[in-house]
Amino acid sequence: MKKLLKYFFILTIIPALFLTSCKEENDEITQGPDPDLTENFEALKDYMVANDLDLPDVLNGWITGAPAEADLATFLSTYDIIDIRNAADYAAGHIEGAVNSSLANILTTAANTTKPILVACYTGQTAGHAVVALRLSGYADAKVLKFGMSGWNSTLSGPWQGNSGADNGAVGEGHTNWVTSPVATNQTYNYPGFNISATTGEGILEERVNAMINSGFKGVNATDVLASPSNYFINNYWAEADVAKYGHIAGAHRIQPLSLENDEIANLDPDATICTYCWTGQTSSMITAYLNVIGFDAVSLKFGSNKMIYPSLESHKFTTPTTDLPLVTSTAANVFGTLSDYLVANDLDLPDILNGWITGAPAEADLATFLSTYDIIDIRAEDAYNAGHIEGAINSTLGNIVSDAATTTKPILVACYSGQTAAHAVVALRLSGYTDAKVLKFGMSGWNSTLSGSWENNSGATNGAVAEGHSNWVTTAVATNQTFDYPSIMSTYTDGANILQERVTAMTSGGFKGVNASDVLTSPSNYFINNYWAQADVDKYGHIAGAYRIQPLSLENGEMANLDSGSQVCTYCWTGQTSSMITAYLNVLGYDAVSLKFGSNKMIYPSLESHKFTTPTTDLPLVN
């Protein structure tokens, strides 16, 4: 089987929210019968069995421990080692020759390997998810470093020491939900179903693997499962003799082996959260990753029986290394040039990102077509979403937008209150492989007049005139462009894909970066201001005192060098939506950038002849 996704570009980190909705009768849209989504599972199942990718195949020889000190040189020459801990911990001490990556970017990094891959994490658990992705993508000899870096050097054993042993590994000892009665009787269930855009087994597998790694590690604490075992469909992945010897969590099943070909997979309930536990959480991580690929909602009980009954165990126990294998350190370097080159080479320059990035609400007659075109992600607060949202939209956040996008199969449309925070989200998506993602213009304010408050309060004759007659709104020439140094981006990553993923995550984690127009008008010298209008519009309307006009703004043509990396860069446009896109992109590049909220609609609305927000006269439907 060829190496799937060898050059596939897709990024980022963290958990998805799946929300349902109801709708008013008079807002219903007539649709045909729902497709049988289990057909996608069956197509994937047939492909995986035919290509020796059943779970028992994937679990064959998947782990290896740290070597004896005398065998270290041979060990290091055998593997290409990928360390998926965070960059700071990698830099502080890693295995010689290891490269730093992440779960989300593991396949991109793997494309540069020439030997069997060994994946190292903190404990051996997240690496299990990565190795499943690798083995299902053509890297059939990829392995997990047993116990992760905790098993390599005692100075890195903290994660395991904190979750095993007599003091930290006994949460199941004496617990009322740790029992010795027989395990639950296995039943037969329907297969899971999932949406997919691919039509071949190979394509379905590729999409599902990427969805898994972009959703992050799926683990659950032992205390949570012991407290409420009925919240999960629990599978104890031990031999029958071990269950008889040690007991099990109340209500647990024992389904082992677990294969597609022999149909034991049908003993799992597709409507429940499947919680698998083993001895250490490493095998269960492999199984959990595999189950999520094939359509189950699955979690791994972290640290397994080592967290629950360590004092009772006679084997399968973590012990702190008595021989510390060597670590090497690395120093973060400025990687702006590497990132810039990568963005240009992959058509991710700012003008590319700004191509076709926004769409307005549809005419009422076109609503059904509009809703069938997009997967809509609403990033407003949960209470606002619950009070009224677009039919079919799911609720998410700016911080989770990339991981939640992994479940989509259509072009993504992001809705927020005003269209501004959504622009940050769309930059993250477009830089993460979702190149057709769009902003809903004016956000939910442009969908239904009952939600237009955020725009009505920041535009119009009364609320949109803070610059009219202001001494710092001027008609003089804009400032003359200069050339500045580029910003520094410090990272231990050396490849563009990993650097970009790290920077996108930093941007979305940092939240929306906006500034009030009144603050900029009061103290324009506090900012490096870029008026992102055409020259004719500057001549017609004027500008904020001291503003530059740098447009277009590209890496390839060097205009980014006209921005002062030593100042806070404030971009303004007509509505704050384009400037939000630009601001998000600049923050990814390492600039300290803010977007002037609501743009000229907040400052000179009475003077504007176009580019103005108007409250919708036709209210499109909402559901809650």
The answer to which of 44-58, 174-188, 468-482, 494-508 has the lowest mean pLDDT is 494-508
CA angle 195, 197, 200 (to 5 degrees): 105
Q: How confident is the model at residue 15 (pLDDT cuts 50, 70, 90)?
A: very low
Per cent of the chain over pLDDT 70 is 94
CA angle 567, 501, 401 (to 5 degrees): 95
The answer to which of 20-24, 161-165, 304-308, 389-393 has the lowest mean pLDDT is 20-24
> How far are the Cα atoms of 114, 202, 373, 394, 562 from residue 142, in angstroms, in the given order?
12, 19, 39, 36, 46
CB 413 within 8 A of CB 450: no
Q: How confident is the model at residue 215 (pLDDT cuts 50, 70, 90)?
A: confident
Rg (CA), the chain: 27
Nearest to 562 by CA among 496, 490, 478: 478
pLDDT at 11 over 80: no
CB 316 within 8 A of CB 280: yes
Q: What is the mean pLDDT of residues 167-172?
A: 98
pLDDT at 8 over 90: no
CA distance 361 to 442: 9
More confident residue, 375 or 12: 375
Q: What is the mean pLDDT of residues 491-495?
A: 87
Tokens representing 409?
Answer: 């199969």
> How far are the Cα atoms of 25, 374, 408 from residue 624, in angstroms, in the given order?
12, 19, 21
Taking residue 22's Cβ as centre, other Cβ atoms within 10 Å add up to 6
Nearest to 252 by CA among 237, 271, 236: 236
Nearest to 306 by CA among 316, 296, 297: 316
pLDDT at 26 over 70: no
Q: What is the mean pLDDT of residues 226-254?
A: 99
Tokens representing 285?
Answer: 């991580």
- Hey, which residues does 394 pair with through a beta bridge? 377
CB 161 within 8 A of CB 320: yes
**201-214 and 38-50 helices, crossing angle to 10°:** 100
Whether the CA torsion 420, 421, 424, 426 is positive or negative: it is: negative
Tokens representing 386?
Answer: 């619950």
The answer to which of 5-19, 73-87, 222-236, 337-351 has the lowest mean pLDDT is 5-19
Over residues 122-145, the pLDDT tens digits come to 999 999 999 999 999 999 999 999
Taking residue 172's Cβ as centre, other Cβ atoms within 10 Å add up to 23
Mean pLDDT (the chain) is: 93
pLDDT at 341 over 80: yes
pLDDT at 32 over 60: no
Tokens representing 180?
Answer: 């010795």
Using DSSP, state whether 527 is helix, strand or coil.
coil
**For residue 102, what are the contacts with CB-CB under 8 A and spacing of at least 6?**
13, 84, 498, 501
pLDDT of 35 reads: 58
C-alpha count within 13 angstroms, C-beta hemisphere, residue 495: 15
pLDDT of 164 reads: 98
Over residues 366-404, the pLDDT tens digits come to 999 999 999 999 999 999 999 999 999 999 999 989 988
Q: Which domains does the chain have, with CATH numbers?
A: 35-312 (3.40.250.10), 331-624 (3.40.250.10)
pLDDT of 158 reads: 98
User: How far from each other are the two terminal CA atoms of the chain, in whole angstroms?
Assistant: 46
Kind of pairing, strands 117-120 and 80-83?
parallel
Amino acid at 117: I
Q: What is the mean pLDDT of residues 559-584?
A: 98
The residue behind tokens 């009322």 is 176
Q: Is the pTM of this model over 0.75?
A: no
